[in-house]
Amino acid sequence: MHDVELLAVSKGQSLEKMLEAIKAGQRSFGESYVQEALDKIERLSAFDVNWHFIGRIQSNKTRDIATHFDWVHSVARADIAQRLNQHRGQQQAPLNVCLQVNISEEASKSGVVLHDVLPLARLIVSLPHLKLRGLMAIPAQTDCVDQQLIAYKTLYDAQQLLIKQGFQLDTLSMGLSRDFKAAILAGSTMVRIGTRLFGPRVDAR
């Protein structure tokens, strides 16, 4: 079995719970709301923690995201990629980026459709302050493990296609509390787990 990194999704979770996780050795945290995240980043600045932005990206928040995060998993538009690139500090290492794919092709879910993955990947690798690490998806919610596997296998195949085209990718960000087992079976290298780790969220927005 390959290595799978645990991204602790801490949106809507208290600082106390996050400190407990840090004490237990957890180093990577995922947040979806910029204001909540900036507050936590400041209050936990004494700790050596990696911050991953996994939420919807509004254009007016790209500066905050590019400056304060180490990773962004939810890049799905060319103009957003360009803004993140432009706002990433010149002294900072390139921002790690995953391209979010809408594998279930539902109107309500964000992400690019499979057809648009290649052109957006090409754009991202041309931007000097971004580093494309791989793909991410949030498939349609289902309890059917076969459906979960099909969805995640689709993302895995899309990643393999990019690798065949010469892209150097090492991250497949897939799997949350409800379906991480299927995601790992399908080749996930990073699972994003919130409630299964911390318990129910309070809406902190």
Ligand X SMILES: *Cc1c(COP(=O)(O)O)cnc(C)c1O
Stretch that binds ligand X, among 79-87, 101-109, 155-163, 191-199 (CB under 6 A): 191-199
Q: Between vectors from CA 171 to CA 166 and to CA 175, what angle results, nearest 5°?
A: 135
> What is the maximum alpha-carbon separation in the chain?
46
What residues have CB less than 8 Å from 76, skipping those under 6 apart? 57, 99, 100, 101, 102, 110, 111, 112, 120
- Residue 180 carries which DSSP code? H
Is residue 102 close enough to count as binding ligand X by CB under 6 A? no
Residues 11-50 that bind ligand X (CB under 6 A): 11, 32
Shorter beta-carbon distance to ligand X: residue 159 or 188:
188
Among 54, 99, 135, 151, binds ligand X (CB under 6 A): 54
Residue 70 exposed, middle or buried by CB count within 10 Å (0-12, 13-18, 19+): middle
Spatial separation of the C-alpha atoms in residues 94 and 122, rounded to whole Å: 16
Shorter beta-carbon distance to ligand X: residue 13 or 62:
13
Shorter beta-carbon distance to ligand X: residue 32 or 104:
32
Residues 108-147 that bind ligand X (CB under 6 A): 138
Is residue 176 close enough to count as binding ligand X by CB under 6 A? yes
Q: Which residues bind ligand X (CB under 6 A)?
A: 9, 11, 32, 54, 138, 176-178, 192-196
